[in-house]
Each structure stands twice: as structure tokens, then as C-alpha cells.
């Protein structure tokens, strides 16, 4: 009876979680859905505390109090710009929790020796994926928080070592399944998983982080599914499947937007930048520099303006300034839209959150496919800290390493104003013909500073 009660509580929670995911398809219903999910979570936890045969509440209370004390600031105080590292940290927490459950389950006194093969296989997968997600996410956190150097760290035989380690990890899993009571195999696997997590994130650079974070999300989900199998808990299987799929779908979306293959994502072999810089289409030409004054004049009298915020905007945290500039143009009668490339920002959807926080209404944040039809009608497209995602070579030059990458068709706008730090190349090291087109003028300098001077000039225009 008690067990049935608990399972019914889990069933309710699972239902509410699915409702929450469905409600996330629209901004209007998303908050309500998440509240239902929170209620479902509370019901599941309460039922577990009442019915799961828990003997002592002392230590779990300690854990819950510590966790809640850590969770509150993680929920309420973290700025939106720090969202990627915050998410990475919570992947690490989630994976650590599942990994520890797996270790505890394997090492329980009645555990070793009485475990069946399928049970041990599930525990093994759980610890393997959980372990690598823990260290991988901590590495990603360190890089995003700039505790660790953000540039890719590469050394000789890196790939060979990674493959050898992965093989060793798989071998210990096989060993464990063959001999379920062999604790050494279990420990070896845990250590290997932790090492693999560090090694796979080492060679990843900052701009590749959206893929890494999504992929780690997916791995955390796999670990949760395995936990569900190991301890015979359906809700963990369900949530793990949702988590894993969501991470997987996001990594596929991200990898497509970054022009990386599906297999590339699956095996996590990202981060290796295309070898060497490749010249542009060879047209040649000079970038035409402009002043804030001249650029502002053009913006002030434009009827339709499309803002194209990129990675550089997120880095210089100029989302409030771009919004202020947009508001000024609108006040003068212009129409302003924001074109959001899927990999703008530092994690999937990050740019939308940054601009929403700055106060840009979400119906002005337009996805790539939709906004691409509108560029030809735009008087000015303002590119702020974006490079590869607006490079026409992705559509026109088959020799370019970014050929095939979906881009924002900025070059179709009547004129382009590009705010750029310097004359350097984009992340992929490819020349950008957009910047030397006759209709394009450049405003060099830090994105925030350039936007501030544009704001000042538009006010007086």
C-alpha cells in the first residue's frame, strides 16, 4: 500500500513534468508549467520522505539545508550574463548526485556479491556518464568563469590518449559486467570517467561552449536514466530521458548552427578549429571606417533597422546599450528588430535571455529563418560583435571552411553598419567579405563604447 502511494505520487510528478515541458513551447504558458512541475517535485519528495522506508532523518536534513542554502543564491543572485557557467555548475551537481547514488548502491553491504549483471551494467553506465559529466562540467564552469584559461588547451597525442582512456573505461565496464563483485573494476571505471571528463573539455575554446554545455546536459540525462534502471525507479528514467533528449536536441541544433557534423557532436570531438586561416573569396578590398556621428545620422533617419547581436556583444555585456539605441530609433519612428542566430551568446538561447533582461520585448527577438526574409527590406543592419554568423562566404564560397553554415543574410540589407573590436578575423579564422562590401561601413572599438557613442549621437541628431 505504502509503496503504491509513493509510485502514484511519482506518476503525478512525471505527468506534471511533461505538462511543464509542453508549456515551455510558448512564453505565455511557460511560467505556469514550471510552477506545476515544482508542485510535482514537492509531491514526489514528500511521498519519498513518508514512504520510502527512511530510518533516520538527521543527515538528509543536513544535506537538504546545505543544498537549499546553496541553491537559493544560485537561483536568485546569479546574473543573466553568468548563466552558462551557472548551468555548467548545476550539471556538475546533478551528475555528482547521481554518481554518488550509484557508488552508494554498488558499495552497500548487501550490494557487492548479490548484484545481477543487468543491475551492475546500469550502475556502471551511471558512474561512467555521471563521473565524466561531473569533471567535464566543472572544467566548463572553470573556463566560463575564467578561473581556467578560456582558450583551447592542446597537447601532443591528445586524441590518442582520450581514445585509449575511453577504451579503458569501456573495458572496465565489460569487466564489471562479467564479474559483478569485482570492486576494483568499479573503482577503475570511476577514476577513468573523472579523467575523461577533464580531458574532453580541455581542448574546447570559449565559442564552442554552447555545444559542450548541451552535450554535458545530455550525458547527465543518460546517467540519470541508468540510475533509474539501477535502483528500479521509473521517475528517474523518465526525467533522465527528458534531460538527455533535451541536451541532445540542443547539441544538434547548436552543431548545425556552427556547421559541425552530427557525428562530430555525438563523439564530442569538437573544439578542433579548422586548420589555418583561409582567404576570402579573393575579391580583395578595404574596410571602410566611419565615425559614430555619421553612423548615428544614418540610424536616426532609418525606417527599418535590424540589430544583429553576436558573441562580441555578450562578451562586452552591452545588451542594455543595444536596447537603449533601439529604443531611441523607435522613438524617432523607426522599426527595430533583433536578429538572433542560434549560436549568438555563450549557450543555447543565451542572447534572448540577455536581451529580454535588458527589456527588449520577445516579439522583437526574431529567429534566423524568419528574420532572413526581412533583411532585404531593412535600411540598416547593425552588426554588433558578430562575424562568422553573418559571413556571406557560408552561402557563396564552397572553398570556405564555414561553407554551408546557416547565416543571417545581413548582406541583403540596404546598408550595413558593423561594430567590431578590431580588423581581426572571426572565430573560425575566415575572412569576412561582408566587411569589405561597398554598402558596409565599420565602427571599430569595444561594442559597449561604440554603442554608447552612437546613443549620444542619435540623441543629438
Radius of gyration of the chain (CA): 25
Q: Which of residues 319-348 bind other proteins (CB under 8 A)?
A: 327, 330-331, 333-335, 340, 342, 347-348
Q: Which of 81, 135, 172, 233 binds other proteins (CB under 8 A)?
A: 233
User: Is 41 or 287 the residue whose CB approaches other proteins more closely?
Assistant: 41
User: Is 235 or 451 the residue whose CB approaches other proteins more closely?
Assistant: 235
Q: Which of 113, 276, 282, 361 binds other proteins (CB under 8 A)?
A: 361
Q: For other proteins, what does the binding mask look like between residues 104 and 123, x meaning CB under 8 A?
A: xx-xxx------x-x-----
User: Is 241 or 273 the residue whose CB approaches other proteins more closely?
Assistant: 241
Q: Enumerate the β-bridge partners of residue 289.
A: 442
Query: Does residue 283 interact with other proteins by CB under 8 A?
Result: no
Q: For other proteins, what does the binding mask look like between residues 142 and 161, x meaning CB under 8 A?
A: --------------------
Q: Which of 49, 164, 288, 294 binds other proteins (CB under 8 A)?
A: 49
- For the bound state, the minimum distance from the C-beta of residue 156 to other proteins, rounded and expressed in Å, comes to 35
Query: Does residue 352 interact with other proteins by CB under 8 A?
Result: yes
Contact between 433 and 402 under an 8 Å Cβ cutoff? The reply is no
Pairing of strands 380-384, 365-367: unpaired
Q: Which of 7, 12, 36, 48 binds other proteins (CB under 8 A)?
A: 48
- For the bound state, the minimum distance from the C-beta of residue 343 to other proteins, rounded and expressed in Å, comes to 10
Sheet strands (E) in 284-356:
304-309, 335-340
- For the bound state, the minimum distance from the C-beta of residue 422 to other proteins, rounded and expressed in Å, comes to 29
- For the bound state, the minimum distance from the C-beta of residue 166 to other proteins, rounded and expressed in Å, comes to 24
Contact between 450 and 297 under an 8 Å Cβ cutoff? The reply is no
Sheet strands (E) in 368-454:
380-384, 415-420, 440-444
User: Is 121 or 393 the residue whose CB approaches other proteins more closely?
Assistant: 121
Closest C-alpha to 278, from 426, 128, 135, 126: 426
Q: What are phi and psi of 56, to 5 degrees?
A: -120, 135
- For the bound state, the minimum distance from the C-beta of residue 285 to other proteins, rounded and expressed in Å, comes to 33
Q: Which of residues 251-270 bind other proteins (CB under 8 A)?
A: 253
DSSP string, 121-189: HHHHHHHHHHHHHHHHHHHHHHHHTTSS-SS----TTHHHHHHHHHHHHHHHHHHHHHSTT-HHHHHHH
Q: Long-range contacts of range 320-325, CB-CB < 8 Å, 24 or more positions apart?
A: 320/358, 321/447, 321/448, 321/451, 321/452, 321/455, 322/355, 322/358, 322/384, 322/451, 323/355, 323/358, 323/359, 323/360, 324/451, 324/455, 325/299, 325/382, 325/451, 325/454, 325/455, 325/458
- For the bound state, the minimum distance from the C-beta of residue 253 to other proteins, rounded and expressed in Å, comes to 7
Angstrom distances, CA of residue 388 to CA of 204, 253, 383, 444: 18, 17, 11, 17
Query: Does residue 305 interact with other proteins by CB under 8 A?
Result: no
User: Is 184 or 288 the residue whose CB approaches other proteins more closely?
Assistant: 184
Stretch that binds other proteins, among 21-29, 266-274, 306-314, 422-430 (CB under 8 A): 21-29
Query: Does residue 11 interact with other proteins by CB under 8 A?
Result: no
- For the bound state, the minimum distance from the C-beta of residue 167 to other proteins, rounded and expressed in Å, comes to 26
Query: Does residue 1 interact with other proteins by CB under 8 A?
Result: no
- For the bound state, the minimum distance from the C-beta of residue 11 to other proteins, rounded and expressed in Å, comes to 11
User: Is 80 or 287 the residue whose CB approaches other proteins more closely?
Assistant: 80
User: Is 12 or 168 the residue whose CB approaches other proteins more closely?
Assistant: 12
Q: Long-range contacts of range 108-115, CB-CB < 8 Å, 24 or more positions apart?
A: 112/181, 112/183, 113/181, 115/180, 115/181
The b/e string for 411-442 (b: 16+ C-beta within 10 A; e otherwise) is bbbebbbbbbeeeebbbbbbbbbbbbbeebbb
Give the other-Cβ count within 10 Å of 315's Cβ. Answer: 18
Query: Does residue 50 interact with other proteins by CB under 8 A?
Result: no
Q: For other proteins, what does the binding mask look like between residues 374 and 413, x meaning CB under 8 A?
A: ---x------------------------------------
Q: Which residues form the catalytic set?
A: 388
Q: Which residues contact 275 (CB under 8 A, 6 or more apart)?
A: none
Query: Does residue 307 interact with other proteins by CB under 8 A?
Result: no
Query: Does residue 136 interact with other proteins by CB under 8 A?
Result: no
Q: Which of residues 59-88 bind other proteins (CB under 8 A)?
A: 59-60, 62-64, 66-68, 70-76, 78, 80, 83, 86-87
- For the bound state, the minimum distance from the C-beta of residue 75 to other proteins, rounded and expressed in Å, comes to 3
Amino acid at each position: 500500500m505504502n509503496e503504491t502511494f509513493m509510485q502514484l505520487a511519482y506518476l503525478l510528478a512525471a505527468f506534471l513534468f511533461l505538462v511543464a515541458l509542453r508549456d515551455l513551447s510558448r512564453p505565455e504558458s511557460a511560467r505556469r508549467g514550471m510552477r506545476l512541475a515544482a508542485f510535482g517535485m514537492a509531491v514526489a519528495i514528500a511521498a519519498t520522505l513518508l514512504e520510502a522506508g527512511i530510518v533516520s532523518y538527521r543527515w538528509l536534513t543536513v544535506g537538504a539545508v546545505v543544498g537549499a542554502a546553496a541553491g537559493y543564491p544560485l537561483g536568485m543572485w546569479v546574473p543573466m550574463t553568468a548563466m552558462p557557467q551557472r548551468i555548467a555548475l548545476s550539471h556538475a551537481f546533478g551528475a555528482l548526485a547521481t554518481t554518488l547514488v550509484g557508488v552508494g548502491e554498488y558499495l552497500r553491504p548487501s550490494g557487492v556479491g548479490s548484484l545481477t549483471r543487468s543491475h551492475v551494467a546500469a550502475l556502471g553506465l551511471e558512474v561512467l556518464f555521471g563521473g565524466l559529466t561531473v569533471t567535464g562540467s566543472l572544467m566548463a564552469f572553470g573556463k566560463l568563469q575564467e578561473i581556467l584559461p578560456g582558450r583551447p588547451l592542446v597537447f601532443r597525442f591528445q586524441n590518442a590518449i582520450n581514445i585509449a582512456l575511453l577504451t579503458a573505461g569501456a573495458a572496465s565496464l565489460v569487466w564489471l559486467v562479467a564479474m559483478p563483485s569485482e570492486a576494483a573494476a568499479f573503482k577503475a571505471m570511476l577514476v577513468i570517467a573523472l579523467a575523461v571528463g577533464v580531458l574532453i573539455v580541455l581542448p574546447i575554446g570559449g565559442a564552442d561552449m554552447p555545444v559542450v554545455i548541451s552535450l554535458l546536459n545530455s550525458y547527465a540525462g543518460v546517467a540519470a536514466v541508468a540510475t533509474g534502471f539501477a535502483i528500479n525507479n521509473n521517475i528517474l528514467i523518465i526525467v533522465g530521458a527528458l534531460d538527455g533528449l533535451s541536451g541532445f536536441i540542443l547539441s544538434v541544433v547548436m552543431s548545425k548552427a556552427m556547421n559541425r557534423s552530427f557525428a562530430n557532436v555525438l563523439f564530442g570531438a569538437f573544439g578542433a578549429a579548422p586548420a589555418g586561416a583561409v582567404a576570402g573569396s579573393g575579391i580583395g578590398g578595404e574596410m571602410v571606417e566611419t565615425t559614430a556621428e555619421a553612423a548615428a545620422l544614418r540610424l536616426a533617419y532609418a525606417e527599418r533597422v535590424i540589430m544583429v547581436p553576436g558573441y562580441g556583444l555578450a562578451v562586452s555585456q552591452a545588451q542594455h546599450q543595444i536596447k537603449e539605441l533601439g529604443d531611441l530609433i523607435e522613438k524617432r519612428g523607426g522599426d527595430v528588430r533583433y536578429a538572433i542566430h542560434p549560436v549568438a551568446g555563450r549557450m543555447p538561447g543565451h542572447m534572448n535571455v540577455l536581451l529580454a533582461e535588458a527589456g527588449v520585448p520577445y516579439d522583437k527577438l526574431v529567429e534566423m529563418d524568419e528574420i532572413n526574409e526581412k533583411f532585404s527590406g531593412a535600411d540598416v543592419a547593425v552588426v554588433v560583435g558578430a562575424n562568422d554568423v553573418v559571413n556571406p562566404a557560408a552561402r557563396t564560397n564552397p572553398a570556405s571552411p564555414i561553407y554551408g553554415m546557416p547565416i543571417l543574410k545581413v548582406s541583403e540589407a540596404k546598408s550595413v553598419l558593423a561594430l567590431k573590436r578590431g580588423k581581426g578575423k572571426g572565430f573560425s579564422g575566415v575572412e569576412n567579405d561582408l566587411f569589405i562590401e561597398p554598402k558596409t561601413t565599420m565602427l571599430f572599438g569595444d561594442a559597449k563604447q561604440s554603442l554608447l557613442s552612437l546613443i549620444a549621437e542619435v540623441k543629438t541628431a
